[in-house]
A = this chain, B = another copy of it.
Amino acid sequence: MARTSEEKILEAAQRIFTRFGYEGARMQQIADEAEVNKSMLHYYFRSKKKLFEEVYRDAVVKLMPQLLNLLNADLPLEEKIPKLVRRYITLMRDHPRLPGFIIQELHQNREEWLNFMDNLDFGKPKKFLEQVRRNQEQGKIVKIEPRQLLINILSLCVFPFAAQPMIKYMLKMDDAEFENFLDVRVESLSTFILNAITP
């Protein structure tokens, strides 16, 4: 404990920005959430934009490498896919607001976002795509464009979190039921995907 003011601000900013977005967040709101004087935000982070960028970078750094490492790991597909599903869903469960947050905020200033990402520079899913192509040539899996498979896996894992409130509404789930839905989903998705690509 005994978090410094700087830490308190960052954590508060994380909560507020991920919830309300850049435009929707108020500096005063962040200060209140951090239990700190508003001037402190500028003292430590200079401006709203700088503070936001810090938060956004942290979010991206928290997610992207996790997504990519395992994707390029040295594991046979039939092992890798269940592991991917389990890890992605676990990751999203821990940070359910991040996917929506990351996607939402990049929708504007696309230019700016591009060099921002290039600076961070995580790898690309190249190895995974090649692995799929190889498995396909060997007839181990069904014919499918590797990028399509990649996007399928990502979609299936991430979308339910981005669309969480909509899903809860459409299927009339409360929080507990949704959690249960996710428990089931880990197993369900693995077999779903493996089934889909098994000849």
Which A residues fall within an 8 A CB radius of B?
19-24, 97, 100, 102-104, 106-108, 110, 113-114, 117, 124-125, 142, 144-145, 147-152, 154-156, 158-160, 162-163, 165-167, 169-172, 181, 184-185, 188-189, 191-193, 195-198
Max chain B C-beta neighbours (<10 A), residue from A142, A188, A191: A188
B107, B145, B152, B184: which contacts A156 (Cβ < 8 A)?
B152
A-B contact pairs, 21 of them (CB 8 A): A19-B108, A21-B23, A103-B166, A110-B165, A114-B169, A117-B169, A125-B170, A145-B184, A145-B188, A148-B181, A148-B184, A148-B185, A148-B189, A151-B167, A151-B185, A152-B192, A155-B156, A155-B158, A155-B159, A158-B163, A196-B196
